[in-house]
Chain A
């Protein structure tokens, strides 16, 4: 375009006073392509309308730039003028030259800005190529985003106008904040009563499709034809089958924070937000995998059984555990519980006693008639398992359930491995171990005890007779001290000592015994030798207490029993007389830099040797597997530390069909890790025997779950329930179990401390309870693309968080208004009985504080939230109707009651219901015993006011929803600095957003009350209906080209 005309509209106020028009015009005339430039006072009044048209004709202009103060408002008018003069309206560029802010800048600068903008517009026109104008057919369907009172009304009006409407709602039910309220002003109607009929209408209307529990993810296109990607968040429930009966929620053990109840009452992990929900369907709130379950080597559903126990459902808890672990009584007594190390509760006080609770389920959940685990169809393949420890037992158990024939060989007389010969009876009663290992035999697994493979039967024989072999021989060779005198009589290694004791053999015990080592085996040996009659037991460990690998509780109990710890000490040599040990020489150590294990290296302190008088020394400093018979001799690779080499993904050894796992591979580790290995081996062996690929998808067996956001702030501290133990004198010399186990009350109390990290814990109780078989925990999110011609945004509001107001304490009796609404609401969690959250007592003195966060430009938000003055008056009245002898104080700055009947409402509140209004602000709110103290001022008397209230309600500022900015970005519409969506013009275009075809209704645009929301949404509906009266819409598509300079 080469004949550009520039027309500047001005008036004295806006433009002429701050711009140097002459300069601008002069500069304009010099711009390339500009044929004409002129300024007109009041150009865009009708009197000057013709100026542009006439100039176009006179000067032969082919394109036009019009500069004004409000180009958006003027655009349509000028377009018509330009078209009237015979030009395509796209030959027009509107420019704003109104100075944005005056802040000490000189007029010279504004004029420069104006010139710059005109230059840009001229350049744009210069490059513009006009393609033939196109239009798109109008898709006469609408999208309403948000199902609150605004969205519902917009949807109904558009639907009643004859068009299809998609109503997308983020939560499971439409209704929004309005259904949370108790009564609405100024009529004191029940909001549920007036809104639910409309909600039902929406649900039943043939033109309305409610897309519940869904979100808008992407929007493309333009007015007339928007392409919208909607995400249907997974509910884990088939809504076609769900009847909304609620049987599932009755059995769900997980209590979670309820958005609807706002903390005044919990909701279950499977829930329907409120009774009159539309759609009348349930959803499951599942956040992911909790850290406890992730940390467990067998991924036992810890949160699941803990939550079931919190409801006293010990049998259900036990059933859940047994799905994964057949040995809860055993493992619940001796596990090293990596789950507890990751438990989020530790950020509050201490982790949940997950291990003890597992034991509680086993102790208390047992009922007559155990449920037998299922076995798949019998297969004719046989598997040999060498070692009846945890790895071997679980591998056998899993494989037997798959139908294979299993024989377990073990050198000891009974099953258990280290559980049998290592762990002392006072930690793990043999009767429990026997009962649980018996389960494996009952499945049909054959045990051959007292059999050493490689001696009583050759390995080659096994390879002949069996289709696969799993080696799980543990680590039963004790590491030597490598000091002089180790061969003296009276020196017996820890695990050998424990084995003899546990197998019932005679052992001579000294009077002054020294145990060397800091792991569980050393502690086991120390506490055992004490029970067998030692007078003094000393534990020597070369690092400090912090580095001791043993369980903390074990170390504590050892100390309680009188065992003396000698930390940072190490034996140097053993001294004897006549072949019998008499002394042990030790040296003091200090800690240096960390070594390969990550622990600080112990360094002997020169000259610090000391003597200990001993008659028995028990080294327990390490263990390794016995690979003399099953090692290199049979062709297996053995590592330098004595362990067997395997493929970490599949547990295959170098020999086909031979697998290995547990301590034999890892070196001495924990029972639960061995269980993990057993389970892994079973999967490998199953695949091997079925001819399947061993490696495929094995890495995905357990995908590390994403970190869960868990609120630990504000959780009241409550320490772990102490495990009742046998008192020390009673323990003397006996092998009776020291830990007594929780009783029902203790277990339930401990389990209630769980924070429900993952939300739904997948205990599957709901699946069993649902008679419609609608629940499916494997479902995932789904997506849908819809085409619409217009969009109405009605996403509503949120309240500013109380946490931001530091001068008011965090306290359950200091609430926000929506919480108080739930308490006042007759269908709320307290049935409308006004009680305060902390102690359930009736509050007799209530203080309401206005403008918290609003009208506060210095610290929070500068604007007024519109509705608080009215709702506080309303809540005051409802409170007085419920508590006749109560007093409500309202601290205010102004009382803004400007709507129809609002002033009368407020007068009623003060005169009839006796609400006490105090004009002044509140500087501090804090708890003092049973009362909440409020420090405010009364500006009308000029005095300080101090009120000891029972309950305080803060009128928090109304803010846009936290995801509003993101949604605005998705839609391409503008928001203001606070996130409220901006209308195209505050006076003349109160429904349109800054993008054609997208309309704004309700509080997402600005704070307002319900009558205004309805008015605005019906207005938007009207706009949509009028839009749909066109069959075509001009295409706004302009194609941008990126030019690399």
Chain B
């Protein structure tokens, strides 16, 4: 077959040579005809290219310099002269000779070909005299078959961030990765964090990028060759990290891959480092345990026996979601069983209920994480801040094992940073002031976490100067947050520090003092269905208490009805339910307030708020809740009682509806909306102020 291919090549080249001759003669008559020149170049180019492939290396070598000259002519950099045409014609004849003679391995007229090549080189170099690089044959047979690899292993960290348009050049990045994999042992981490959300996602763009660790005998050039087609529009780094790997170190690639897969952040090197250090420790531990084998059970082996597996949080969300569905269906089952009055069915449904609840509890429990990891992060923060502010502060913690829902912990991070910053900046005094006040020069900030019922309490305690009630009051009046004659309790006063735009700091520092922090803190905590409380003693310190629900997936609610719709109010802030009669409404003279045991409580009529007109009952109910230490009532038709529900989000389109934080499905399949009473109150206040300012005009 190869022989017949070679024959085909010879025939084709003869044709080309014939064409070349005719064209050359035509060019002599019309030296500027670009069409003809292009044809010449193409013929020479093809001869050069294919001759090397079919084993006619001498032709390729010979034609190369001629082609170079014609490339210049084609680009208008060189004019066609009679000399060039003469030389080319001579060259054509030589090529024709080579075609015949190479087959027989007979020597061709070397002197002749040499002369022709020299002449062409002269022509080219006369065009570009600065060209010092010798244009000798490039057509050396490529040596891919020569194995450049040695027995020495290299360890590379490869980072590959393809250009977004990667797919548009038909490149499949996975093929490149596969090629890498074939070069040795590979640990790969694919990162999807640059993928935008669905609405702005362009499926034709590549958002994924990779980090890889490769142990190979190949060298850097071989690695770069893999990415040769994508190198110009990708971000590529190759780093030989062989010297970072401990000597005589056996890398467990499966284990490392596992570790890497769990960390989808880009800090691949850190993960590698962690692996190497953990491995070292484990080795040490192994030695230790073997040493201690004779001893009775020790704490090491105890902690070893608690095995754990890592699962992606999406899987957990899915599980919690399904359990939520199950809880709903189970409620329906109980209802049906009861209404049918079928004893067998009732006993089954009770059994199902029992199992469902324990399943629900364990499912939610899986999402729980100890808050300790968040606490430990603050050590560094406190250290940096105290240095920056020239204060000496010590951070202590307790209750690090207290467990909270993963989402809650994540969202708690920023608010806690704000609070700690404030404590150090405003709370803890400078060492001189502290000594003057008779306190130890080192200030203390204490973080504590504890569980209390369905809530977790997080306290941030400092032994600083405490809050200055008068300063807060003055500042609040100045910024128009409260009226000059307002009478506020201590806790109400302290709560003012969370008002938007509030700051008592004498000077604005980079750390705090712009009055944005604490406002954000309150919003974040309320977003988690939690609350913030402040207590303080002047000169002794401040305690900020965050009360947070254990989980966000389940809400303990109070089920109420307005018109024909059901609603759920979060039980954690509800204090009592009282009746609202037509008489009460009349007594208030159109104002939305009610007298409860001598105190005046404002209320929001949800029926009016939600514009429900049907069947207003004669006696309504007011659910009284405590919001930021204020009592606010919510008027509903009927109160059913406590209802534990699985919170469902309203989905993308409705999630921004203010005053509604989600929905839940009741036992009979109807949907009840979960009310966000903080937001409802805020909006009502806004409207009232608007009304008030309008009536003044």
Do chains A and B stick together as partners? no
B interface list, Cβ under 8 A from A: none
